[in-house]
């Protein structure tokens, strides 16, 4: 039966939950989707999924473990490699659904999960098309752009203290995702991050929480999707890069795109990191839809 339904699936002991948009009653092409850093599915993933479904593409949308409707502890912790594995669990689950042709599965990701799909395209050959929107290309380079050099030693001391406290049985330390003052401690220290997360949570996603574990930031700095990009081929890759992106800086994403082999396509989006979800939604969603239609 076509339409959206709630789903849940077992990701090796943790239940992940989301939505399945059935575009057809017969086995058809399917896009697997999860959100970026700390975000939950209500933060415009439904809008992208609706565009895909209207074009005849099933869409499987899920909340990352430790966030939103999905289970997992500690809450508000992002382990990028666990999230990559959970995409793979979601692909496996999708293959059990009657509407899904398991040989026609693509992955879509944005921001942090835009980095995940670069890794996935390289390591999981079940995936037949990749769309990476405003991706994190290099955690270390990204932190180097966002955190002043003279402040990084302080972060390292905080990471080490948190590690010692956790070893002693303390709960993990937490840090805000965003702060109104970009100079205050936060995981995403940009003014547009504060505006988008707070406005979007108020309008669409009351379950979103403005905190992540400090260890989340440490793992971000260790994550290097760019090192996988050259291995995505021959799986087709579409990368959508925002010209004015300074959260996951455009030049880092373009460096990653340059390392990808054919078949590949680059679309430059107007505006900054978050415009793809709102003012630039049509410019972002239409090329993604068309890429999946062409390759799935």
Query: Per-residue pLDDT for the chain (296 aa), expressed as one digit of tens each?
Result: 789 999 999 999 999 999 999 999 999 999 999 999 999 999 999 999 999 999 999 999 999 999 999 999 999 999 999 999 999 999 999 999 999 999 999 999 999 999 999 999 999 999 999 999 999 999 999 998 887 777 777 788 999 999 999 999 999 999 999 999 988 889 999 999 999 999 999 999 999 999 999 999 999 999 999 999 999 999 999 999 999 999 999 999 999 999 999 999 999 999 999 999 999 999 999 999 999 999 99
Cα 67 off chain centre by: 13
Q: What is the DSSP letter of 64?
A: P
pLDDT digits (tens, 9 = 90+) for 5-23: 999 999 999 999 999 999 9
Q: Residue 148 has what pLDDT?
A: 74
DSSP 248-271: TTHHHHHHHHHHPPSSEEEEEESS
pTM of the shown model: 0.97
Closest CA to 62 of 33, 25, 82: 33
Query: Taking a C-beta distance cutoff of 8 angstroms, is the pair 233, 282 a contact?
Result: no
Residue 278's pLDDT is 95
Burial class (CB in 10 A: 0-12, 13-18, 19+), 52: buried
204 burial (CB, 10 Å; 0-12 / 13-18 / 19+) is middle
Domain covering 3-139+224-295: architecture: 3-Layer(aba) Sandwich (3.40)
Per-domain residue ranges of the chain: 3-139+224-295
């Amino acid at each position: 039966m076509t339409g959206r339904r709630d789903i849940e699936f077992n990701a090796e002991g943790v239940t992940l939950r989301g939505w399945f948009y059935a575009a057809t009653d017969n086995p058809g092409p399917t896009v697997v989707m999860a959100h970026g850093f700390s975000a939950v599915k209500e933060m415009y993933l439904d809008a992208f999924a609706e565009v895909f479904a209207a074009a005849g593409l099933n869409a499987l949308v899920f909340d990352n473990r430790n966030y939103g409707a999905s289970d997992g502890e500690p809450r508000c912790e992002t382990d990028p490699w666990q999230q990559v594995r959970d995409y793979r669990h979601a692909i496996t689950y999708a293959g059990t659904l009657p509407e899904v042709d398991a040989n026609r599965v693509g992955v879509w990701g944005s921001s942090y999960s835009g980095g995940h799909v670069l890794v996935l395209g390289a390591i999981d050959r079940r995936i037949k098309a990749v769309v990476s929107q405003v991706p994190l290309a290099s955690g270390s380079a990204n932190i180097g752009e966002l955190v002043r050099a003279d402040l990084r030693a302080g972060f390292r001391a905080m990471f080490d203290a948190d590690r010692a406290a956790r070893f002693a049985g303390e709960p993990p330390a937490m840090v805000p995702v965003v702060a109104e003052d970009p100079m205050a401690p936060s995981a995403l220290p940009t003014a547009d991050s504060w505006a988008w997360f707070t406005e979007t949570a108020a309008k669409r996603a009351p379950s979103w929480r403005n905190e992540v574990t400090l260890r989340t930031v440490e793992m971000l700095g260790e994550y290097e999707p760019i090192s996988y990009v050259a291995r995505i081929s021959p799986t087709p890759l579409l990368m959508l890069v925002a010209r004015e992106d300074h959260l996951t800086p455009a030049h880092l994403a373009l460096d990653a795109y340059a390392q990808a082999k054919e078949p590949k396509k680059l679309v430059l989006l107007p505006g900054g990191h978050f415009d793809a979800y709102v003012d630039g939604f049509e410019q972002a969603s239409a090329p993604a839809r068309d890429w999946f239609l062409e390759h799935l």
